[in-house]
Amino acid sequence: MLKLRDGVVELYRKVATSIPNDVEEALKKAYENETNQISRTALEIILKNISFARTSSRPICQDTGFPVFYVKTPRGLSQSLIMEVINDATRIATRKIPLRTNAIDTLTDNNTGDNTGFLFPLIHIDETEEEHFNVELLLLGGGSENIGQTYKLPALINIDGKEFIAERNLEGARKCIFDAIFKAQGKACPPYYIGVAVGGSKEQTAFLSKRQLMRRINDENPIAELNTFEKDLLQEINRIGIGVAGFGGNNTAMGLKIALAARHPASYIVDISFSCWAMRRGRLIW
């Protein structure tokens, strides 16, 4: 397990100090097509920051985020032991990289000092028939977490001063997404990467919307209707003009991904997760 621990430490380093190629390419594309000069300048600074962080092996952002792990393990291994290994790796990574200490005891308001605490980091573990570990890590900043939204449909929502009824269908989900973006109003450092889930319980959709952030920007949704929904809605979002860091322009979001889960007949819940431009995710196979 020592090799796994060391691998997770290096995964932290990789994710905190560099962004995936698909995200960087999306930001370069945004820079090339941006029509607003202030937003174009902001994108230029972002791209320089990405390069500097990578070459200096320093965190891309001062907020090194709330760590979320998605782990697939061979059958029969102790999940509690795996969690101990990840927590130990988190403590080491916090010292070595270093990471900002973000874990706060909610009752005492004291910082734990090592990025560990109850359900911090958050670790999801699934057993598989594979013989290797697949460890995915998402680092999501506090600003991104704070602009996420949950809706229970049908619902009355207000978008840019106009009231709409969001019904229990994809069009209703679309209205919720626009409502969440207008509420954000450029907070949490756009261009955003947006994850959406529709289902029947809060924990189900919260998990699934954030899980969408682990998808590559240029992937294809296997459900044709959802694939069209993702692409069409992304174009609509980029026409509303919030832009990079809220400066205006035609790059409010880099990507949008949606997933559906089975629901209870009485419930129709839409959950929306955001990441800032620093979409920090990575994977370790061991």
pLDDT at 130 over 90: no
Read off the pLDDT of residues 70-107 as tens digits, 9 standing for 90 and up: 999 999 889 999 999 999 999 999 999 999 999 999 99
Q: Which pLDDT value is given to residue 160?
A: 84
Residue 245 lies in a domain: yes
Share of the chain above pLDDT 90, in %: 94
Between CA 14 and CA 282 the distance in angstroms is 7
Which residue range(s) make up the domain with 273?
A: 144-279
Residue 219 lies in a domain: yes
Residue 212 lies in a domain: yes
pLDDT at 225 over 90: yes
3-state secondary structure of 271: strand
Residue 244 lies in a domain: yes
Residue 152 pLDDT level (bands cut at 50, 70, 90): very high
Residue 2 lies in a domain: no
Residue 100 lies in a domain: no
13 in Cβ contact with 90 (< 8 Å) = no
Model's pTM, two decimal places?
0.95
Q: Which pLDDT value is given to residue 230?
A: 98
Q: What are residue 69's phi and psi, to 5 degrees?
A: -110, 140
Residue 53 lies in a domain: no
pLDDT at 271 over 90: yes
Query: How many domains is the chain built from?
Result: 1
Residues contacting 66, CB < 8 A, separation 6+: 102, 120, 121, 122, 139, 140, 141, 142, 145
Between CA 286 and CA 281 the distance in angstroms is 17
Residue 153 lies in a domain: yes
